[in-house]
Structure formats: C-alpha cells, structure tokens
Amino acid sequence: MPEDQKSPSFEAGLTELEAVVKELEGGELPLERALELFEKGTALSAVCRKQLDDAETRVEQLIRRGDRVIAEPFRTDS
C-alpha cells in the first residue's frame, strides 16, 4: 500500500480481507488474478496486524496502578 494512501479502518480492512479470502477460496481463478488477490490480502493482513498491535500498545499504556502507569499485556481470559 503506497505511503500516501490512507490505511482503511480496521473494520473496513478486515471486511475487505474476508472478501479476498472468500474469492480465493472459491477457486477457478486465473493465476494472475489469484496472485493479485494474494498480494492484496497480504498487504491488508499487515495493515490490520499493525492496527491491532497499536491498539494493544495503547491499552497497555492506559492500565494504571495508583498514580503510575504500568504496562501489562492485554488479556482476554478475564
């Protein structure tokens, strides 16, 4: 994705990635189209992963203990 092009929101990127995967799983694609979709999916996946990593960092920074901010890993097993 070109640097001057704005990244899609996480939700939009995920929706687009799901559409790419669905089309790839459908099969019967010409090789060139399959490669285009694979490249697009790889780029979308990287953008979404970065957005998730950034969100996790923000959550870690916001966890407070007393008057200090203590970084803790984000847990989903509460």
- 42-63 residues labelled b (16+ CB within 10 A) or e (exposed): eebeebbeebeeeeeeeeeeee
Confidence (pLDDT) at 39: 98
CATH, domain range 10-69: 1.10.287
Q: d(Cα 21, Cα 41) in Å, to the nearest integer?
A: 7
- 44 with 68: CB under 8 angstroms? no
pLDDT score for 73? 67
pTM of the model: 0.69
The DSSP code for 69 is E
pLDDT at 69: 67
**Would you state the pLDDT for residue 2?**
47
CA distance 35 to 41: 10
Three-state secondary structure call for residue 64: strand
Tell me, what's the pLDDT at 1?
47
pLDDT in tens, the chain (78 residues): 444 467 789 999 999 999 999 999 998 999 999 999 999 999 999 999 999 999 888 877 777 655 676 666 666 665
